[in-house]
Amino acid sequence: MSRQDTSEIGFDLFDRWGNLKVEYIEHRVKKGSAVWGAELNEGHILLIEHINVVKDFQRKGYGKKLVEDIWAKAQAIFPQCKFAITRPTWLWSPIRAHFDSLPEEAREPYLEGLQLASDHFWRACGFRRIGISFFFGLAKDPAHPSHTLAAPADPRRRKIHQSLKMSKGQQQPYNEAMVVGDDAMALE
């Protein structure tokens, strides 16, 4: 997660008073699975920006174990930490050469596949989408409604377009994704 992504939590997920935006609690579509609410307004939040597992060790449970250990350590140091939040994404540097070698028409499907894989990883770690935002959350309380939501029932963004324009010196494409279609069709 870049600084841009970190600031998006403050601007996209929370209002200027630090409360979860009402639309993610009450709006008929934007609330998504409706398992998140005003409880995010209290306590400390662990922000997980990046998890990187070396390719030879991927898909062997190390990433999930790493997330579990980080979460346990955060709760041990800060018992008032009630939630963890992340924005599923991918590291650009390991895929840059491959992405650049793809024909133009293959780039968007490739990035969508990476996004689906990242979403799947975080769901496997117990995180669930907050409303239909780009952010996923994990609650400390085992009785929190997010823990009863099966991963397949967690809302998915329907169609995501990535702007792949790069400015001079930019490390990765501008990652401004948006839901295409009307609100009623925003969820799969």
Per-residue pLDDT reduced to its tens digit, 123-136: 999 999 999 998 99
> Does residue 105 sit in helix, strand or coil?
helix
- Amino acid identity, position 90: W
Tens-digit pLDDT profile for residues 51-103: 888 888 888 999 999 999 999 999 999 999 999 999 998 877 788 888 999 99
Report the share of the chain in percent with pLDDT over 70. Answer: 80
Mean pLDDT of 166-188: 39
The strand pairing partners of 84, in sequence order, are 46, 138
E strands, 49-143, in order = 81-86, 128-129, 136-139
Which token pair is 110? 């490739």
Encode pLDDT of 22-44 as tens digits: 999 999 999 999 999 999 999 89
What does the angle CA 152 – CA 124 – CA 157 come to, to the nearest 5 degrees?
A: 45
pLDDT score at 179: 37
Does the pTM surpass 0.75? The reply is: yes
